[in-house]
């Protein structure tokens, strides 16, 4: 190999290294604001939360308890927050089940219900120890409904649980920091 060929190869390697370094540097600058993990989705100044038993204006027994349990489980499963008692909590979630309804949306010729609409309305707030709201809106009102088809093997309890789980996911979603 001649001296000119060696110099040419060295130049090619140097140019390739320069472009590779420039690409890596620009990629790092572009991704500098990104973080991995769910701990960055939530406020860093809040570490613990107390979920108070949700009040229920429903005639169905244990609706508030079921909703409180679902919200608590969702917080444990998807956030870095710790559930604790009121004396030790940095923040508090309170709420109430305002409305729960069941209406017939389809029936047979003999007036038997074929499909029903089950709906729930919930108001939830998340505040810190001083009472300052931690969600974008002070009180979040959530309306969810689901269709119940008894002939398909669905029960009222499973349909209600589907709604409760959706409400719990939305409450925890509202706890995320705005982008």
* Residue range 59-109, pLDDT digits in tens: 888 889 999 999 999 999 999 999 999 999 999 999 999 999 889 988 888
Give the pLDDT confidence of 115-130 residue by residue, as tens digits.
999 999 999 999 999 9
Strand partners, 85: none
- β 48-51/82-83 pair status: parallel
- As a residue count, the chain comes to 179
pLDDT score for 89: 94
pLDDT score for 156: 87
pLDDT score for 14: 79
> pTM higher than 0.95, yes or no?
no
Q: How far are the Cα atoms of 5, 45, 100, 117, 118 from residue 150, in angstroms, in the given order?
A: 82, 47, 18, 11, 12
pLDDT score for 28: 61
Give the pLDDT confidence of 36-54 residue by residue, as tens digits.
555 567 778 889 999 999 9
């Amino acid at each position: 190999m001649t001296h000119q060929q060696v110099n040419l190869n060295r130049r090619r390697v140097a140019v390739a290294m320069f472009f590779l370094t420039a690409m890596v540097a620009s990629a790092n600058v572009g991704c500098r604001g990104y973080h991995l993990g769910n701990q960055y989705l939530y406020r860093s100044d809040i570490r613990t939360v107390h979920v108070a038993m949700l009040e229920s204006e429903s005639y169905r027994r244990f609706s508030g308890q079921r909703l409180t349990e679902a919200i608590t489980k969702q917080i444990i499963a998807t956030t870095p927050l710790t559930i604790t008692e009121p004396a030790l909590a940095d923040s508090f979630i309170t709420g109430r089940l305002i409305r729960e309804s069941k209406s017939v949306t389809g029936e047979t010729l003999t007036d038997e219900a074929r499909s029903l609409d089950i709906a729930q309305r919930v108001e939830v707030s998340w505040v810190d120890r001083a009472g300052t709201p931690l969600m974008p809106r002070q009180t979040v009102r959530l309306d969810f409904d689901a269709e119940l088809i008894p002939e398909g093997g669905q029960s009222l309890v499973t349909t209600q649980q589907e709604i409760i789980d959706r409400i719990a996911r939305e409450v925890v979603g509202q706890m995320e920091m705005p982008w």
